[in-house]
Amino acid sequence: MSIRLARGLAPFVLGLSVLGAVAPAARAEAPQQKTQVPGYYRQMVGTFEVTALYDGQIMLDAKLLKNASATDIQKLLARQFRTTPTPTAVIAFLINTGERLVLVDAGAGRFFGPGLGQVVPSLKAAGYQPEQVDAVLLTHLHGDHVGGLVQDGQAVFPKATVYASAGDAGHWLSPDVAAKAPEGAQRFFKMAQDGVAPYVKAGAFKTFSGDAEILPGIAPVKSHGHTPGHTSYLLQSRGQQLLVWGDIVHNAAVQFARPQVTIEFDADSKQALATRLKLFGWTAKDALLVAGAHLPFPGLGQVRADGQGRFSWVPVDYAPIAP
């Protein structure tokens, strides 16, 4: 190579060497984020806009599941590529009726650690503010449904009236019942009482019984068993329906195929089983749209009857909202 050619190539070679030295540093300037976006998904039910709000997930140990052998449960989990403990979603549902903004359940808030408590960020990402919520309908008063009502002792939804069934409120908010409960159950009573405390103090906590509409187009459906007053809610608008069923299912991989499987948290396991079978049969027969607090996000879909007392979950397809 001539001296002249070598001198001509020198800047080019130097440039390549500099790029080589800089490139790794440049790539390192885009670190992995390791956070998930706030989760929400919309579904129209007649003129009602329903938004599933992701609160986070809990890890559910299969040992909590009852009325089936460990071998059978493990096979059902493996069929869905699941292990134990199983990731289990916690979901709340926001209903915009066009006149009111109604939240069904509020998630866990800070009651269960940092893996939960995302209802408010999800709600804001969906275009709303906590101050806009007019009513909160509780399916029951377990901590992963009431914890999101409160933060640092203050109401998260300051303009909302909170509704719960008289059966559930009479159980979880009763000092006498709490005093007689086993020591291991005391924390469940405390979470229920802490969750609704600012609303009770403000006169913004109401109970109901019966099946009359609580708000126009939204009626309670008794689904007792998991708790003494566990309640689902049936939405009806323009001939379309949605059943927000709360905690009818805790482990979708197991309980659709084996509805007889109950969970340790059930207050009355026999009643919880009877309720699950009743709602599975109804929703499958009528092809009713269902929303579940612990189904895979967004927790919306339908139940299919597979015969011999077994069922399957058919999730909704992701779809745009028609203008």
Mean pLDDT computed over every residue of the chain: 93
- The token pair that represents 301 in the structure block: 């879909």
Domain boundaries, the chain: 1-31, 40-315
- The token pair that represents 320 in the structure block: 């745009």
Selected residue with higher pLDDT from 71 and 11: 71
Q: What is the DSSP letter of 322?
A: P
Please state the CATH superfamily assignment of the domain spanning residues 40-315 in this structure. Ribonuclease Z/Hydroxyacylglutathione hydrolase-like (3.60.15.10)
pLDDT at 287 (0 to 100): 98
Residue 114: pLDDT band by 50, 70, 90 thresholds? confident
Element (H, E) at 54: strand 48-60
Task: Please enumerate in sequence order all residues whose Cβ is within 8 A of that of 93, keeping only pairs 6 or more positions apart, or say none.
Answer: 50, 51, 52, 53, 103, 104, 105, 244, 291, 299
Task: Please enumerate in sequence order all residues whose Cβ is within 8 A of that of 227, keeping only pairs 6 or more positions apart, or say none.
Answer: 140, 141, 142, 168, 171, 172, 267
Q: What is the mean pLDDT of residues 149-177?
A: 98
Q: Which amino acid does the sequence have at 111?
A: F
Decide: pTM greater than 0.75: yes
Angle at 258 between CA 77 and CA 291, to 5 degrees: 85
Task: Please enumerate in sequence order all residues whose Cβ is within 8 A of that of 92, keeping only pairs 6 or more positions apart, or say none.
Answer: 52, 53, 55, 103, 104, 105, 106, 107, 119, 148, 293
pLDDT at 12 (0 to 100): 44
